[in-house]
């Protein structure tokens, strides 16, 4: 039997793929989808260097490999450029969020995880001073809101977040900043989230986005749950399940944690055990709603069902917050 889209995804999103043939896989459907989902660089590496092509057509390998090469160059340019801009800053706490933090801490090669833009978390009082500091490195203002500043040098966009949990969560956000771990490779003032905070920041972002997020984010979450076994970095240790659940309750995102962990468990069987341990206990009616509307479609590479009140569902998942509050 020819591999399905889900089979192909699982093999090519693995850091240690089983050497099998993917001849007859649905390449027309997979290739464009993988590029859009941020999965192409990892898939290209697996096909070329782990699986000996695995029976994939030449045009597929060429397309994916070109994205891999572009991702490598783009990521290195962005991270080096950011280091030059931020490296001299001392005595501050600037926390790198998402892709820019995960690319080298979760993934065996920095090219595997595309870094579209940079997101930085700072204390709200530091928004304007940091924006002014980055302006000296040619990062000019693009837009601003009460809690964000967006800057760009024409190649890289940086979004400064003065918190991401919203009003009423000031104590929790202070704890996030205090717990952050040094990321010294980028400068003395640069930090990254702890594993537990990183899990929940990914979960909250997915919920705020209504789970219309690239599937590379589920690979991020898989590796955070597993303890980044393929690297020897900041996240290469067992996740503190009890602390993660406690923080999820404090952030009021237990529904989102349930949804994201069930999606990861469905997509990646090797993550099911830790996902099961982490999954919060919800009322049966709530579980049934989330399973049918969100988990089951996304875990089978389908589309989340749009229903009346979909925005209300998104707000329930993210603790009553919309993306605009972050």
Instruction: For residue 66, give both structure tokens.
Output: 């070109």
Quote the pLDDT of residue 204: 96
10-residue stretch averages of pLDDT, the chain, 326 residues long = 94 95 96 97 97 96 97 95 95 97 96 97 96 95 95 95 92 97 96 98 94 96 97 96 98 96 98 97 93 94 64 71 51
Quote the pLDDT of residue 190: 98
Quote the pLDDT of residue 324: 44
Angstrom CA distances, 117 to 33, 66, 99, 219, stand at 20, 20, 8, 18
DSSP letters, 282-321, are: --HHHHHHHIIIIIHHHHTT--PPP-TTHHHHHHHHTTT-
How far apart are alpha carbons 168 and 110 in whole angstroms?
36
How far apart are alpha carbons 257 and 266 in whole angstroms?
14
Q: What is the largest CA-CA distance in the chain?
A: 59
How far apart are alpha carbons 202 and 264 in whole angstroms?
12
- Give strand ranges (E) for the chain: 94-97, 118-121, 140-144, 148-152, 157-161, 181-182, 190-192
pTM of the model: 0.94
- Give the list of residues 6+ apart from residue 190 with CB closer than 8 angstroms, or none: 86, 94, 95, 96, 182, 183, 184
Burial class (CB in 10 A: 0-12, 13-18, 19+), 277: middle
Residue 74 carries which DSSP code? H
How far apart are alpha carbons 89 and 152 in whole angstroms?
18
Instruction: For residue 312, give both structure tokens.
Output: 């209300």
Quote the pLDDT of residue 305: 60
Beta bridge partner(s), residue 240: none
Quote the pLDDT of residue 326: 39
Quote the pLDDT of residue 93: 97
Quote the pLDDT of residue 310: 60
Quote the pLDDT of residue 207: 94
How far apart are alpha carbons 288 and 286 in whole angstroms?
5
């Amino acid at each position: 039997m020819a591999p399905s889209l889900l089979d192909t995804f699982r093999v090519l999103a693995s850091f240690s793929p089983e050497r099998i043939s993917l001849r007859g896989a649905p390449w027309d459907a997979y290739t464009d989808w993988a590029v859009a989902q941020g999965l192409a660089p990892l898939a290209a590496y697996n096909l070329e260097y782990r699986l000996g092509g695995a029976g994939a057509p030449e045009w597929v390998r060429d397309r994916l490999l070109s994205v891999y090469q572009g991702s490598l160059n783009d990521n290195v340019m962005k991270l080096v450029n950011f280091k030059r801009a931020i490296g001299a800053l001392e005595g501050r706490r600037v926390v790198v969020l998402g892709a820019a933090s995960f690319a080298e801490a979760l993934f065996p090669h920095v090219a595997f995880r595309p870094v579209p833009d940079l997101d930085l978390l700072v204390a709200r009082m530091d928004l304007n001073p940091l924006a002014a500091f980055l302006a000296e490195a040619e990062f000019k203002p693009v837009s601003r809101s009460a809690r964000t500043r967006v800057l760009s040098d024409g190649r890289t966009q940086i979004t400064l977040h003065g918190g991401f949990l919203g009003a009423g969560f000031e104590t929790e956000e202070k704890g996030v900043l205090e717990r952050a771990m040094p990321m010294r490779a980028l400068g003395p003032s640069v930090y990254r989230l702890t594993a537990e905070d990183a899990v929940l920041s990914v979960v909250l972002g997915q919920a705020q986005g209504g789970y219309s997020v690239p599937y590379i984010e589920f690979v991020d979450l898989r590796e955070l749950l597993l303890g980044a076994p393929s690297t020897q970095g900041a996240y290469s240790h067992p996740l503190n399940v009890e602390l993660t659940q406690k923080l999820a309750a404090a952030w009021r995102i237990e529904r989102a944690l349930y949804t994201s962990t069930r999606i990861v468990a469905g997509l990646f069987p090797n993550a099911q055990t830790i996902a099961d341990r982490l999954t919060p206990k919800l009322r049966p009616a709530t579980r049934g709603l989330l399973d049918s509307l969100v988990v089951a479609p996304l875990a089978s590479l389908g589309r989340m069902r749009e229903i009346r009140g979909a925005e209300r569902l998104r707000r329930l998942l993210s603790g009553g917050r919309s993306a605009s509050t972050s």
